[in-house]
Structure 1
Amino acid sequence: MERARAYRFFHDDEEWIAVKPIEPLNLDHIETVSGSKDEFYIDWELADRRKLRAKQRRLFFALINDIVQWSVMPLEYIKDMFYLQYSEYTGREISLSDNSKTSVSDVNTLIDLVIDFMFEWNVPFKEGYKQLPREEQYFIYQCCRHRKCLVCGDSADIHHLDTVGMGVDRRKVDHTQKHVMPLCRTHHENYHQLGAEKFAELYHVPVNGIKLDAGTLKKLGVKGNYESQ
């Protein structure tokens, strides 16, 4: 992951964005992930350059402690493992010390790596789960991918929040246009008992859930009409 500044300008009545690297590009890293040093595609997001937050540090170490309890490996070993993974992924070092220059976006990337690991290896969320930023789309996406209930972490089904319609063949519906939420049977029933607004308020989850791309829906076995995707 390279750092760059983006500049917006207009030329010949067209809107353009120019990207300028903040520091020398790691060309070996670029070639590894894209296959070329000269021509490559980029994804970009707005970086939150504010200094890391104390609650982010607490969340990271809560998740790390969950992994320690599951693996019986030393905390320092687990922490260093994810620091190294972050370094390999971004090409940069990271520190969560008070005097570091680590940003909110940097720590979010680190936490995403930890969450990915925990879902992939079915690590039980305990203390960390209570602090997870459940309003973030990325976490909901991972819960869908791994069929984990957004509320409790148990095995879940993909629950449609938008009404599909009585008598409509779901196999002919484009589910990429429907909002979904991964919920276990208990919380699925709870959702219908309380209604969307009260359910979201009670469990601190987003009322609208998330929309999934066609590739993810197909992997989850949600049959539909994805010919245009």
Structure 2
Amino acid sequence: MIQEHVVGFIVDLLKDGTAIIRAQIPNIEQALRRGFLKVEIILWDGRRISPEQRRKCYALLGEIAEYTDGIRTAETVDEQKRLLKMEFMLRRMEATERRMFSLADCDMSTAREFITYLIDFIIANDIPTRVPLIDNCDDIAAYMYACTMHRKCAVCGKAADIHHCEGSRIGAGVDRTKVHQLGREVLPLCRVHHTELHAIPESEFIAKYHLQKVKLDEVLCKRLKFKK
């Protein structure tokens, strides 16, 4: 598919959510000849990365560097930053927005997505961390999803059971392999934190650790070998 990258500006927003955008097409004759009908709109975040987001990025990069290189120094952190930024660009960014970015002045949305990517990388590769990952995440929902996907406790990072939340629980003695799980709400918790949850109200436990429930979708059901 032929693509042209054109930058435009929103000139009006209607009450029904419609945006009127003005964009200059570099070659109008070529556009007419190709018959472009659809466009992809990417809303750029004009806010710059916050000091807190920058701190989280370097804390996570430090954890990765310490695990992969055996030592956390400015050099090993910079090398992991270079490698992981490239991986992030290739794997997570859309082709139309794939570009080099700097942790000094990138936008907040890119920083948020990069932090999520680093956390996913740590969870998927079972990298131990000095600080609980939840303290360095910028998107709790994405973090909870990754923990569920890899069966890691959302509180401490250890191997987790899948706790079915109130309203989604399966009765005692029921064969879970035969119960439909799609749409049920769960929490990934290790045995210690799972036991703690059952000792207090569920809502109190969730508030204490700043967690969010995860709704099982088809991808999670397949990964966890749950009946859809």
Provide the TM-score with structure 2 as the length reference. Answer: 0.72
Matches within 5 A, 1:145-224: 145-161=149-165, 162-165=168-171, 169-206=175-212, 209-222=213-226, 224=227
CA contact (8 A) 1:134 1:205 kept: no
Segments of structure 2 that go 5 or more residues without pairing to the other structure are 26-35
Residue type of the partner of 1:55?
E
Residue 58 in 1 paired to residue 55 in 2? yes
User: CA, structure 1 residues 132+56, in 2 after alignment: closer, same or farther (shift >3 Å)?
Assistant: same
Query: Secondary structure of 2:115's partner?
Result: helix
1:16/1:200 CA distance change after superposition, 3 Å: closer
Give per-residue Cα distances to partners, 1:159-211, cap 9 Å, x unaligned. Answer: 100333456554454322211000011111100101212212322223xx110
What is the percent sequence identity of the aligned residues? 28
Q: Secondary structure at the match of 1:93?
A: coil
Q: Structure 2 counterpart of 1:103, which letter?
A: D
Give me the whole-angstrom Cα distance separating, in 2, the residues matched to 1:103 and 1:58: 15
- How many matched pairs? 200
2:152 maps to 1:139: no
Compute the displacement of 1:50 (Å). 2.2
What one-letter code is carried by the residue in structure 2 that aligns with 1:151? V
* 1:29-49 deviation per Cα after TM superposition (whole angstroms, max 9, x unaligned): xxxxxxxxx99998x997654
Q: 2:65 aligns with which of 68, 91, 114?
A: 68
Give, in whole Å, the separation in 2 of the partners of 1:131 and 1:119. Answer: 14
Deviations along 1:95-133, one digit per CA (max 9) or x if unpaired, are: 111xx2x21111012112212221222111223626233
Name the amino acid aligned to 1:195.
Answer: P
Aligned-partner SS, 1:182: strand
Higher gyration radius (CA):
2
Q: Is the 8 A contact 2:116 2:137 kept in 1?
A: no
Contact conserved, 1:134 with 1:140, CA < 8 A, in 2?
Answer: no
Backbone CA RMSD of aligned residues: 3.5
* Shift in alpha-carbon separation, 1:39–1:148, aligned structure 2, 3 A: farther
Is 2:112 the partner of 1:108? yes
8 Å CA contact 1:141–1:212 kept in 2: the answer is no
In structure 2, the CA distance between the partners of 1:60 and 1:214, relative to structure 1 (3 Å rule), is: same
Shift of 1:144: 0.6
Asked whether 1:96 is paired with 2:103, we answer yes
Compared CA separation, residues 92 and 186, structure 1 to 2 (3 A): same
Whether the aligned pair in 1 keeps the contact of 2:162 and 2:186 (CA below 8 Å) is: yes
CA distance in structure 1 between the aligned counterparts of 2:108 and 2:38, rounded to whole angstroms: 27
Distance change in 2, residues 1:165/1:20 (3 Å)? farther
State the secondary structure of the residue aligned to 2:128: coil
Alignment partner of 2:88 out of 86, 99, 109:
86
Residue matched to 1:27: none
Aligned residue number for residue 34 of structure 1: none
Q: TM-score, normalised by structure 1?
A: 0.71
Q: Choose from 112, 121, 128 the match for 1:124.
A: 128
2:173 & 2:125 partners in 1: Cα distance? 39
